[in-house]
Structure 1
Amino acid sequence: MFLASFPAGPWQANCYLFGLTDGHVVVVDPGVDAAETVRRAVEEHDLTVDAVLLTHGHIDHVAEAAQVADHFGVPAWLHGADRELLTDPSSGREQMQQMIAQLGVEVREPADLRLIEGGETLHAAGADFDVVHAPGHRPGCVLFRVRPDEPLEGDLDELIFTGDVVFAGSIGRTDLPGGDDAVMRATLRDVVLPLPDAAALLPGHGPTTTMNHERTTNPYLQEAYLT
């Protein structure tokens, strides 16, 4: 198993390289300033990139998705509800237009963009990624669940790339365009809480955590918040 990550861009969004087949990886959420680091890691470790997986369409997670996917000639997978953030990233919003200009990024669709809905299983880098729709932070948020074929540290037996759905001690905000607090609470109740305690959570920002730890300590996963 290969797993590496680094925080990229001004919002320190986590970008991951992961694979179960020797030398093959997927790139999860290559955001602002991520492409060059991805290329260096691929060269240093003699890797082959099989696909780009996007947990949602916010700029800090997709800004360089097209650069990475097109450079390696691979597909990028994104939920259809967030496609608008690639086709028209500013969407008429002055704040977003200013942000894109300040960052100096060119957000665009990858040449091979493939849309997902949730419920699919994607096959890449020797792994099966179960796609789980988890809206609230954005309509197109998804989780990518994978069970490695070798033991993980401790009693963990599953990896879940959670994007901005759930973090260590927190959750994704819902006050941005496309966010919906009621939908997020439903996702936390119906999607996140049923996740197994033995799952390692690899979030879009901040440190890795576990479902067992978040279930017992994350204030946003407690009954007082969810009811």
Structure 2
Amino acid sequence: MLQYQIIPVTPFQQNCTLFWCDQTKEAAVVDPGGDIELIVQAIEHHGVKLTKVLLTHAHIDHAGATKAVAEKFEVPIEGPHKEDKFWIDLIPEQKTRFGFAHAEFFEPTRWLAQGDTVTVGKETLDVYFCPGHTPGHVVFYHKGSELAQVGDVLFKGSIGRTDFPRGDHATLIRSIRENLFPLGDQVRFIPGHGPMSTFGEERRSNPFVGDHAR
């Protein structure tokens, strides 16, 4: 089974997530934006071995500590989609603007695209390309536990911002409705910020992308 722990990091309280396979104890950390000591504590607490870093997108609060974590544990970086490369290139500029002293430029070991899969031990996560918040945003979905890590695409009662460079509202709505909601109302999701929800709950009540939203 796939296990997880949400680790809020950075002043933005971004939901970094530690996933691990309970059979092999191999783990992946999703969106290590900062507060590396908290990530290390979680890894040590669960007695797991970090084998990779996974990224939903390259905004600094999600990707700021990517290089530091990858180098500390000597692991590859998988994701996001190559359309987010320009955000990675901007990290040196962003670190000064937002006070992320730890943030450094990095190069993903593997770019991800719709239909790809990533592994965590013996568990497999499906990759869904969901642009709109950023042009290269991806979502990770574990079919066995009907759990998704959606980054900043969708939140409980809200959706991701689209006023950043190369964001697009119509594209984001289409990503949610055509790529995520068809996975099923029962699917729980971990958003990039805030509490978890289900796709069904958001279809019923989300004022931006629910079934009754214009």
TM-score with structure 1 setting the length: 0.86
Q: Which SS does the other structure have where 1:57 is aligned?
A: coil
Taking the TM superposition and a 5 Å limit, the aligned residue runs for 1:31-180 are 31-33=33-35, 35-78=36-79, 79-89=81-91, 96=94, 98-100=96-98, 102-109=99-106, 113-148=109-144, 157-180=145-168
- Most deviating of 69-78 and 16-25: 16-25
Gaps of 5+ in 1: 149-156
Q: Is the 8 A contact 1:19 1:126 kept in 2?
A: no
Q: Which amino acid aligns with 2:205?
A: T
Q: Is the 8 A contact 2:7 2:39 kept in 1?
A: no
Give, in angstroms, the shift of residue 85 of structure 1: 2.1
Equivalent residue, structure 2, for 1:26: 28
Deviations 1:158-191, CA, capped at 9 Å, x for gaps: 0100000001111100001121112112212322
Give, in angstroms, the shift of residue 32 of structure 1: 2.4
Q: Which SS does the other structure have where 1:114 is aligned?
A: coil
Q: Is the 8 A contact 2:7 2:18 kept in 1?
A: no
Identical counterparts, % of pairs: 36
CA distance in 2, matches of 1:201, 1:86: 25
- Most deviating of 133-142 and 1-10: 1-10
Give, in angstroms, the shift of residue 223 of structure 1: 4.7
Deviations 1:114-165, CA, capped at 9 Å, x for gaps: 11122101122221111000000000111101123xxxxxxxx401000000
Match of 2:194 among 206, 217, 222: 206
Equivalent residue, structure 1, for 2:169: 181
Q: Which SS does the other structure have where 1:191 is aligned?
A: helix
TM-score with structure 2 setting the length: 0.91
Q: Which SS does the other structure have where 1:19 is aligned?
A: strand
Runs of 4+ in 1 over 3 A off after TM superposition: none
